[in-house]
Amino acid sequence: MELSLEELCQLITVLNQTDITELTLESEDLRLSIHKGTGQTLAAVAAAPTGSAASPPPQPMVAPTAATEPPLPPRNLVDITSPMVGTFYRAPGPDDPAFVGPGDTIRRGQTVCIIEAMKLMNELEAEVAGQVVEILVENAQPVEYGQVLMRVDPS
């Protein structure tokens, strides 16, 4: 069984949207264990042994996929977070203006960015009206599920 990085990211995204806390997939040449717990998802991937009995067992790779949490916002600011693992885009296209910028006033339901995941462009809409105070992610930067993208001063 082959598993690309893209497929692994999609699997982790789906897992983060469920109550499942542990998932293990095994085949002849792959063992994948994903454990979800205290705000961090860990994935361990190991190749199945293929050599003689004398060869050492493969060492698992453990990769944290949860982003480091930025400092808590002042109590009056609202975080807009990523609903999935993907790539953050500030504009609908490379030559188009950004959806929003710091200082812009936004309304509830307004598109504030795009998260691209698995070649699908997912528009992220504001859940609160107010003024954009800061954008914490650079354009075309990979983002994690739950990562804070921007902060809004609600009105």
Instruction: List, for residues 28-63, the tens digit of each pLDDT value.
Output: 777 777 776 644 444 444 444 444 444 444 444 444
Strand order in the sheet with 41-47: 22-26, 30-36, 41-47, 61-64
74 pLDDT band, cuts 50/70/90, is low
pTM of the model: 0.53
pLDDT value for 150 = 96
* Domain extents in the chain: 5-64, 78-154
Alpha-helical runs (H) found in 17-135: none
How big is the chain, counted in residues? 155
Average pLDDT, the chain: 78
CATH of domain 78-154: 2.40.50.100
3-state secondary structure of 139: coil
pLDDT score, position 55: 45
